[in-house]
Amino acid sequence: MKIKHLLAALVGGSVLMAGVASAQPFGGSADVAYAEQLWGAMGKAGLLGADGIMSTPYKGQHPHGAVLDTIETELKLGNNRGVLIVKRNYGGEGVSKNSVADDPAKYLKAVTVMYKRKGYDPATKDWFWAKYLADGSLDKNPKGMLLAGKVAKGAPQGCIACHTAAPGGDMVFNHDRYR
């Protein structure tokens, strides 16, 4: 009898956890799969790797890194054609605007991305958010959640929380072109 109760509790617990997992706003299997496709499409568009298209490195600020480079383009992924903003974060010993310009791959720490996905989430301007490490794997938050999708929607910290403060209401700091 007791064992039966224990089992019921265990099964109930894992059902509950599965429910929580599928309800999470980001880092679920569909978002992770989409992030992988996006990384593939970025590679095909010549945006990745040692010879990837980049801009002039500039001095960055928290949380994005010591030296950054940001480019904007349009990318097609499946049926979606949308704006893609790629911000590369560089760091490590000897990092400077010049050293990054000379050898970007050596200092690359992360690639943060905003991709306009029609109809994805109008409340957050249809941006798909992702943070990749230099090798293309997804970075995680302190709770171990993969950073892909509506990252930190409704949370006090993270991509959406912070970018909501960007002027112009388009969630982009750099300009207000997508209001």
Alpha helices in 24-147 (DSSP H): 29-44, 97-102, 104-107
Sheet holding 67-77, edge to edge: 58-59, 67-77, 80-90, 108-116, 127-133, 148-149
Which residues, numbered 101-130, are part of the site for ligand HEC (CB under 6 A)?
Answer: 112-114, 129-130
What element of type H or E holds 159? helix 159-163
Q: Applying CB under 6 A, which of residues 42, 48, 67, 68 lies at the interface with ligand HEC?
A: 68
Taking the least distance from each CB to ligand HEC, the nearer of 108 and 113 is 113
- Regarding 32 and contact with ligand HEC (CB under 6 A), the answer is no
* Residues binding ligand HEC: number (CB under 6 A): 24
Q: Which residue has the tokens 């599965």?
A: 18
- Counting contacts by CB under 6 A, is residue 83 touching ligand HEC? no
Question: 93 φ, ψ to 5°?
Answer: -65, 135
Comparison of 14 and 164: residue with beta carbon closer to ligand HEC: 164
Give the residue, chosen from 27, 60, 104, 149, that forms a contact with ligand HEC under the rule CB under 6 A: 60
Q: Give the three-class secondary structure for 152.
A: coil
* Residues at the interface with ligand HEC (CB under 6 A): 60-61, 63-64, 68, 70, 85, 87, 112-114, 129-131, 147, 151, 158-159, 162-163, 166, 172-174
